[in-house]
Structure 1
Amino acid sequence: MRRRDLLKAAPAALLPMPALGQNMRSRTLRLVPSTDLVSLDPVISTALVAVQHGYHVFDTLYGVDGQMRPHPQMAEGHQVSDDNLTWTIRLRDGLRFHDGEPVRSRDCAASLERWSRRDVYGRVYGAAVEAYETPDDRTLRIRLKTPFPRLLQAIGKPHSSPAFMMPERIVKASPDTPISEMVGSGPYRFLASEMDSGNLFAYAKFDGYRPRDEAPNWTSGGKVAHFDRVEWRVISDKSTAVSALLQGEVDWIENLPADLEPLAARSRDVRIQNADTLGTVLVMRFNHLTAPFNNPALRRFVLEVAKQSDYLATVTGGSPDAWRECAAMYPCTIAGVEEIGKERFGRLVGNEAAMREALRATGYNNEKIVILNPADSAALAPLGPITADLLKRAGLNVDLQDMDWGTLLQRRGSKAPVEENGWSIFHSTWPSIAIADPVQNTTMRGEGSRGWPGWYESAEMESLTARWLAATDTAAQARLQSEIHALALREVPTLPLGIYFPKTAYRRDLTGVLDGSVRYPWNVRRG
């Protein structure tokens, strides 16, 4: 059954919605997230939906604007010693957690220490830290072993495990495991008693939150909450979600599927907006621990047979202004990125004889390739079948396995071979700004078992990244970034599949929806 036919069979009026009075409804923002919220801990999980949840509940010492420039957020400001080895950060007065306790410098020290063990940028930052000192409740002193000039960029990064501040008691109770108690100092409180996984997640405005005076810009500035309550309505069938939006039963769909955009566009009551002007990168992630993608020659082969436009056109419905091909390992929407892969990306497409010869040269021995495919994700569900089809046509042994996104997140953590419920490929997305430089580009970091599932390991990559971070002039940084880029093209730790520009859709009576890598709940109001 096609989605448009399904609209007739499953009208939004049949959706289970809480009974709300008209006044309460006007003060409630109802959002349909792109996927179910499987993990509540936005430091442990890199999933977009977990990061979005994190920005409701938690705050950061520094935020960034759309050009990745850091600005004080929970911080009042900072000072750096003459030898660049001591950073002193002063907290804003009056910051409080949702349980009523003041935010103290020791909470921030514990939060940074925990975050630095989990995040790819955080681990590099953490290696430079000698100690944290908290001379008083509002003063955090970070003593370094070596200078770390990008400290504010690290602790203010906007996506994929941001350095959210949490109470010391919670952080120390779960140093390396997901936290279970959602107590932050952000603009909304998480209502754990109302959580109905797969259906409803609810947040209440935190009256003790003190927003900054500046205008909001990405994760920086004044985070003013205009709604008393935010509800996330998890609706796995996107046609049903769009129908609910059209009938006013929800206010906002985080990610509007391309094939349903024309339907939403016909309504005078719905506004459609580009969600992120820098775009989102589609990626194919290989498992480097087990055959056959522990073989870099086979990863290079896939890069040469994959056609980015097939993926991008499917995800975006073919609209030419909704995507762009990018023959680079970094996002082409980031300033200074060169398309160094123009002679390599997709070079074997349409040449079957050359494709067969190239496959033989890789040494591939018909090992089974298991592709994990999240059938409940509008952006990702089409990618698995495209990859399965192109690899089968290229002569590889492929097993496409559909599952929900939550199951995929659990399954991709397995390091077992495919015969023991392991995997070979999964697809994901990364906001361009989240993988814009060598340190935070998780898709190509060579951290091995400590890194992103797929576990690409490269001492050369890590050495070049450390040298890039330590470089003090722009010429040296540019040269090192070019070397990192060339190495990633040779090794193909992850295959970028191009950039698309996701759309978000909301009722026309909403204003103040901000650009960013996730949908922020602040600045949005009704009327």
Structure 2
Amino acid sequence: MVVSRFKSVLGLLIMMLVLAACQSTENESNQANGEDTGSGESEELRVSISIQPPTLDPPMSTATKTSHVARNIFETLVTLNAEYQPVPMLADTIDQSDDRLTYTFHLREGVLFHNGKEMVAEDVVASMNRWLDISAGGKLLEGAVFEEGDPYTVLLKLETPIADVLEIMADHVQFPAIMPKEIVDTAEASGVTEYIGTGPFQFKEWRQDQYIHLEKFEDYVAVDAPADGFSGKKEAFINNVYFMIVPDPSTTFAGLQTGEFDIVYDVSNDQYEQLLQDEALSTRPYHFGSLILSYNKKEGPATDQKFRHALNAAINSDDIMQAGFVHEDLFEIDSGYMTKDRTNWYSDNGSEFYNQADPEKAKQLLEESDYNGEPITLLTSRDYEFIYNASVVLQEQLEQVGINVELELYDWPTVLEMRQDPELWDLHINGTATPVTPSSLLFLNYDWVGWPEHPKIDELLAGIKDAVDQEEAKSHWDELQEFAWADYLPISILGQYSNVIVTTDKVVDFSEFEGGFLWNTKLVE
């Protein structure tokens, strides 16, 4: 009897162990496939991006892929809410002096870097002063300096009042990522050698041309406020994120169909209509910014203002944008330097010089210019198919009015490198994200592609910074956009456009705000 009872108990124990092992195996299998295990977390999220970022050091690059990946790793003193207003992030509160020359940032306490060190004022000061030195946004705050008040207080001291200083700091392009002081101090000319921030994900591995692996930061300290744009509470529900570098659109498309990818940041515009028909996918267009034609104003024929206006008169934006973006959902014919969603700043001044499609006017201006038929180099890449297609149509339009255009094709990282050298190009089409304030427009910055330089631009940008209210600032901006189109012509706006992010039906709570982010995103079955 005792033996029989012992055998029954033993059998039950064995059965329970087998069931437990089966359940454990099933959970491991689910986690390996990125499935929700009931804990609210998923093991793996796979995101496809079309090109490799040049760096993950945000102040070093204006590349959108740098921002898309790095914003999950690094945070900033202030950031943008969904209304494009600057609000505190690593700062807890911000005070402004009566003379508008000093901003005091009271830091959140207990915030940890990914190496376990607490963030304090010396880290913020080192990071922000580096940003001032090397970024386009930082250089807008000429003469500014960040100083330590105490371990949890940082002071920004300005030489003159700057009305939009917090907007400049909150911009998501070349953003001022906060890093440990020792990382900043050992940064090389090419950037930092370690990617350590305070964000909800930490850098794990970068296999060149294959993937970038981020990992959930278990000790992340979130803001106690509702999620709102880039601001508010951030929570990582995914243990491992892989940004897969997949240049081929057909491979990306097939990966969506098979479930190899959960999120795709770059889909071919040719595939947009087909993607709309797939009920298992969510297509998420988000307004990105402007497609622009940059002129090399430092060397070559485009230094001649008449020549630039001749090119601008020849441009048919309808044909260029249709070639680049295919579907009417994805582009808009509009002349604004600041796009319509930036409601405080949008202007249509100078619109009569946009999308003229006037070959005869172009030929007349060309005769009045110094152009003598020499080859004009149009720098482009097939890594972004919309840029390449737009470049091909522009080449045709310019050749029709007598401009000898040579299309030079490279991969995108090479284009980014070559366009820094004024001896290597004359024209270049690229997309630029719309900033929060006109002060941050890259194509009005001396150091950016094309090297714009004119005292009138300086005067009107200074007027925006010195303005006492939005009405005064907007009047300066209206005048500047009019001057840019009618006179100096630093660039030609080709149109406004949206990018498309596609997610599978397993992805929930993903926000495509300004190109998307992965905190608060979940995977479900």
TM-score by length of 1: 0.88
Return the offset for 1:138. 1.3
1:312-369 Cα shifts (integer Å, max 9, x gaps): 212321x3333211123332443252322332223243xx444322321223111221
1:138-163 Cα shifts (integer Å, max 9, x gaps): 111223333334332222222x2111
Matched, 1:464 2:460: yes
For 1:473 and 1:272, locate their aligned partners in 2 and report how far apart those are by CA, in whole Å: 39
Select between 262-271 and 28-37 the one with higher mean Cα deviation.
262-271
For 1:363 and 1:86, locate their aligned partners in 2 and report how far apart those are by CA, in whole Å: 49
Matched, 1:64 2:60: no
| Uncovered stretches (5+) of structure 1, i.e. residues with no partner | 1-19, 417-421
Query: Counterpart in 1 of 2:257?
Result: 246
Return the offset for 1:498. 0.6
Q: Does the 8 Å CA contact 1:235/1:241 hold for their aligned counterparts?
A: yes
Letter matched to residue 306 of structure 1: I
Q: Pairwise mapping of residues 21-32 of structure 1 onto structure 2 (< 5 A)?
A: 21-26=29-34, 27-32=43-48
SS in 2 for 1:289: coil
Query: Counterpart in 1 of 2:6?
Result: none
Return the offset for 1:165. 0.6
Query: Counterpart in 2 of 1:482?
Result: 478
Letter matched to residue 61 of structure 2: S
**Equivalent of 2:148, from 130, 134, 140?**
134
For 1:408 and 1:374, locate their aligned partners in 2 and report how far apart those are by CA, in whole Å: 7
Return the offset for 1:126. 4.1
Q: Does the 8 Å CA contact 1:280/1:502 hold for their aligned counterparts?
A: no
SS in 2 for 1:275: strand
Matched, 1:331 2:339: yes
Letter matched to residue 107 of structure 1: D
SS in 1 for 2:87: strand
Return the offset for 1:176. 5.0
For 1:148 and 1:408, locate their aligned partners in 2 and report how far apart those are by CA, in whole Å: 34
For 2:355 and 2:438, locate their aligned partners in 1 and report how far apart those are by CA, in whole Å: 24
SS in 2 for 1:370: strand
Letter matched to residue 190 of structure 1: F
Return the offset for 1:460. 2.2
Q: Does the 8 Å CA contact 2:71/2:517 hold for their aligned counterparts?
A: yes
Query: Counterpart in 1 of 2:439?
Result: 439
Select between 97-106 and 82-91 the one with higher mean Cα deviation.
82-91
Q: Pairwise mapping of residues 274-353 of structure 1 onto structure 2 (< 5 A)?
A: 274-276=285-287, 279-317=288-326, 319-335=327-343, 336-349=345-358, 352-353=359-360
Matched, 1:454 2:450: yes
Query: Counterpart in 2 of 1:8?
Result: none
Return the offset for 1:169. 1.4
Query: Counterpart in 2 of 1:427?
Result: 429
Letter matched to residue 122 of structure 1: G
SS in 2 for 1:293: helix
Q: Pairwise mapping of residues 77-88 of structure 1 onto structure 2 (< 5 A)?
A: 77-88=93-104
For 1:465 and 1:214, locate their aligned partners in 2 and report how far apart those are by CA, in whole Å: 35
Query: Counterpart in 2 of 1:118?
Result: 134
Q: Structure 1 segments of 4 or more deviating over 6 A? A: none
SS in 2 for 1:242: helix
Q: Give the total of aligned pairs.
A: 487
For 2:469 and 2:278, locate their aligned partners in 1 and report how far apart those are by CA, in whole Å: 52
Q: Does the 8 Å CA contact 1:40/1:180 hold for their aligned counterparts?
A: no
Q: Does the 8 Å CA contact 1:258/1:316 hold for their aligned counterparts?
A: yes
**Equivalent of 2:492, from 467, 492, 495?**
495
Q: Does the 8 Å CA contact 1:238/1:378 hold for their aligned counterparts?
A: no
TM-score by length of 2: 0.88
Query: Counterpart in 2 of 1:104?
Result: 120
For 2:52 and 2:190, locate their aligned partners in 1 and report how far apart those are by CA, in whole Å: 20
For 1:262 and 1:462, locate their aligned partners in 2 and report how far apart those are by CA, in whole Å: 44
Q: Percent identity?
A: 22
Return the offset for 1:484. 1.0
Q: Does the 8 Å CA contact 2:306/2:365 hold for their aligned counterparts?
A: no
SS in 2 for 1:164: coil
**Equivalent of 2:363, from 353, 356, 359?**
356
Q: 1:60 to 1:353 in 2, by over 3 A?
A: closer
For 2:94 and 2:470, locate their aligned partners in 1 and report how far apart those are by CA, in whole Å: 24
Q: Pairwise mapping of residues 506-517 of structure 1 onto structure 2 (< 5 A)?
A: 506-517=503-514
Return the offset for 1:216. 2.2
Q: Does the 8 Å CA contact 2:100/2:161 hold for their aligned counterparts?
A: yes
For 2:492 and 2:135, locate their aligned partners in 1 and report how far apart those are by CA, in whole Å: 21
Q: 1:42 to 1:372 in 2, by over 3 A?
A: same
1:82-110 Cα shifts (integer Å, max 9, x gaps): 33333221111211111111111111111
Return the offset for 1:80. 2.2
Select between 266-275 and 51-60 the one with higher mean Cα deviation.
266-275
| Uncovered stretches (5+) of structure 2, i.e. residues with no partner | 1-27, 35-42
Return the offset for 1:21. 4.7
Matched, 1:261 2:277: no
Matched, 1:156 2:180: no
Q: Does the 8 Å CA contact 2:340/2:346 hold for their aligned counterparts?
A: yes
For 2:159 and 2:490, locate their aligned partners in 1 and report how far apart those are by CA, in whole Å: 31
Letter matched to residue 301 of structure 1: A
Q: Does the 8 Å CA contact 2:355/2:494 hold for their aligned counterparts?
A: no
Q: CA RMSD in A?
A: 1.9
Return the offset for 1:463. 2.2
For 2:350 and 2:99, locate their aligned partners in 1 and report how far apart those are by CA, in whole Å: 41
1:435-460 Cα shifts (integer Å, max 9, x gaps): x5331111123x2xxx1121111222
Return the offset for 1:120. 2.6
